Amino acid sequence: MQGGDVNTEGRDLYGTEVNLASKLGEDLCECGEIMLTENAFERLNSKPEDLEIIEAAISGLQLKIYKLKIATILPC
């Protein structure tokens, strides 16, 4: 998840934030995980303590990413 400015056109979403969130999901996130950028993490009212913090380069940007493992009901 990422937080920031998003452009809308009808039902379509565009912008750097949308692209970055998509890359997190496609490139790094695995089944049973939620990933937050530093920007999204800072917006949380209640911050989970059992996060793994990783550094990753996505689309030429060096990012701090917060990874949370969640229990899955369905098989991945």
What is the pLDDT at residue 43? Answer: 83
Structure-block tokens of residue 17: 């934030």
Closest CA to 64 of 44, 30, 35, 26: 35
Whole-model pTM: value is 0.70
Confirm if 48 and 67 have CB atoms less than 8 A apart. Answer: no
What is the pLDDT at residue 4? Answer: 59
Q: What is the pLDDT of residues 42-55, one digit of tens each?
A: 888 888 888 899 99
What are the CA-CA distances from residue 71 to residues 5, 7, 35, 56, 63 (Å)? 30, 33, 14, 24, 25
Closest CA to 68 of 23, 26, 27, 37: 37
Q: What is the pLDDT of residues 10-61, one digit of tens each?
A: 888 777 777 787 888 788 888 888 888 888 888 888 888 888 999 988 878 8
